[in-house]
Structure 1
Amino acid sequence: MDFLSWFDINNTLVNFSIGGGYAMSWIEAIGTIFGLLCIWFASKEKTINFFFGLINVTLFCIIFFQIQLYGLLLLQVFFFCANIYGWFAWTKSNTNGDSLEIRWLSKPKLAMTVALSAIAISLLTLYINPVFFALANFAVDVLNIFGANLADPTLQPGAFPFWDATMTVLSIVAQILMTRKYVENWILWVVINIISVGLYAAQGVYALSIQYAILLFVAANGARCWIAIANRNKPQVRKAIA
């Protein structure tokens, strides 16, 4: 078996006999493991989580490229950039020598985050098909610049536009909040994983539903750990880090 075959989604690692059957490829399995490691180390406030996150999103970029989900591929590119920024933000110190600490969003920031998220979800729900079609075509055009020689994608309308929009927007918001060490990121990941478990089960993809159930427990543990740390930090008089 040559090296490149490990990145082929048709190179099956294991077949699950649940539901209608599900073949998990090597690249999906490895990408999932690195994703779990990323979330676990993030819950422990370990900067190495971003290293595992970079590998995770890179492998899933390759997966989405092969199954022609170019909109999701671009979302992984965003997560890749967010991981690089998060790595920098978690390791740098401000002018006073203080590093970023786990904390809650202030009430004004929380209100703004909720309002912007609600507006974004509403708009994306209404326009999710043209938005993702445009993103897919943009991704194909960019890849073709580098010699991919891809045909224009033919995409089907989303089956669950509201839930797709909700998971997309909340995932972006949660990733941004994680890079700034806000506790609320874990609460959002818990919500996202609950939606994912139900959505994939409704579509009959039970293996993915189980995978997100595992992620749900990891995210819940992350929320528990960060809430405890944030509550310890809260009484201390420190200069707020923007």
Structure 2
Amino acid sequence: MDLLELFSIHHTLVTIPLGDGYAMSWIEAIGTLFGLACIWLASQEKTINYLFGLINVSLFAIIFFQIQLYGLLMLQLFFFCANLYGWYAWTRPANDQGETLQIRWLSKSKLMLTAALSALAIALLTRYIDPVFAALARTSVTLLNLFGAELAMPDPSPDAFPFWDATMTVLSVVAQILMTRKYVENWVLWVIINIISIGVYAAQGVYAMSLEYLILLFIAANGTRLWVLAAKRSQQGL
């Protein structure tokens, strides 16, 4: 199989009998599997999750490039950097005793600040989501054209679900940051994100994506359970 063909979204692996039929490409299938493995390993507090995460966001960046979702492509760049930082933060000593980061809860003050900033960011992004994503798309195309892509400047359509899209985007960024610092609340946010995603993708008729996020919901719920128990053991000095 030609390598470029493997990375094409038109190279179908299987057609899933959902709705009118969903043709899942090889790159989407591989990227999804690495994404599921990343989340599962993170729930088990395995640092290797970041390797799977780096592969996942790289493959999805290629997908978003091909389907011209340049705003989401830029978001993958953030997740790529966050995975690199998370790998570093989880393995470097967190104190003079050489201990690594421990699973813990946000302090009350940090929780309130995180909630306030998240609410403000969601409100602002909901209001300005179309120009923000259009700017991200134009920035992506400009950068890609510097490397000879010769892409036409995009003219994105208005967002179908501005509030829910803004909520998923902001909470995904916040959850990823909290995960790199091993805060339990990251899993609570992933549960919320996955519930919203299931509804949005189902409303758009993308049932395969809804099914994928249903699986992610169960993994995130299990991650919440495991990290709550780990945080309790850490507080008790066990």
Q: What residue number does 2:225 align with?
A: 224
State the 1:190 CA deviation: 0.4
- In the alignment, is residue 156 of structure 1 matched against residue 157 of structure 2? yes
Q: Which residue type is aligned with residue 50 of structure 1?
A: Y
Q: What residue number does 1:8 align with?
A: 8
Q: What residue number does 1:113 align with?
A: 114
Q: What residue number does 1:126 align with?
A: 127
In 2: Cα distance, 1:108 partner to 1:234 partner = 18
Q: What residue number does 1:85 align with?
A: 85
Which deviates more, 62-71 or 89-98? 89-98
In 2: Cα distance, 1:106 partner to 1:5 partner = 49
Identical-residue share of aligned pairs (%) = 70
SS of aligned partner of 1:210: helix
> For 1:57-206, what aligned pairs fall within 5 Å after superposition?
57-93=57-93, 94-206=95-207
State the 1:211 CA deviation: 0.7
Q: Which residue type is aligned with residue 86 of structure 2?
A: G
> For 1:25-36, what aligned pairs fall within 5 Å after superposition?
25-36=25-36
Count of residues in correspondence between the two structures:
237
User: Over residues 110-165 of structure 1, what are the superposed CA-to-partner deviations in whole Å (9 max), with x where a residue is unaligned?
Assistant: 00000000000000000000000000000000111111111101210000000000
Q: What residue number does 1:208 align with?
A: 209
TM-score (norm 1): 0.96
State the 1:66 CA deviation: 0.2
In 2: Cα distance, 1:122 partner to 1:194 partner = 20
Q: Which residue type is aligned with residue 106 of structure 1?
A: S
State the 1:204 CA deviation: 1.1
In 2: Cα distance, 1:160 partner to 1:126 partner = 12
SS of aligned partner of 2:97: coil
In 2: Cα distance, 1:99 partner to 1:2 partner = 43
TM-score (norm 2): 0.98
CA RMSD in angstroms comes to 1.0
In 1: Cα distance, 2:96 partner to 2:51 partner = 26
SS of aligned partner of 2:205: coil
State the 1:95 CA deviation: 2.8
User: Over residues 19-55 of structure 1, what are the superposed CA-to-partner deviations in whole Å (9 max), with x where a residue is unaligned?
Assistant: 1221100000000000001001100100000000000
Q: What residue number does 2:52 align with?
A: 52
Runs of 4+ residues deviating >2 angstroms: none
User: Over residues 188-213 of structure 1, what are the superposed CA-to-partner deviations in whole Å (9 max), with x where a residue is unaligned?
Assistant: 00000000011111111111111100
Q: Which residue type is aligned with residue 46 of structure 1?
A: K
In 1: Cα distance, 2:25 partner to 2:99 partner = 44
State the 1:235 CA deviation: 2.8
State the 1:234 CA deviation: 1.4
Q: What residue number does 1:240 align with?
A: none
Q: Which residue type is aligned with residue 103 of structure 1?
A: R
State the 1:96 CA deviation: 2.9
Q: Which residue type is aligned with residue 70 of structure 1?
A: Y
State the 1:100 CA deviation: 0.4
Consecutive unaligned residues of structure 1, counting only runs of 5 or more, are 238-242
State the 1:184 CA deviation: 0.3
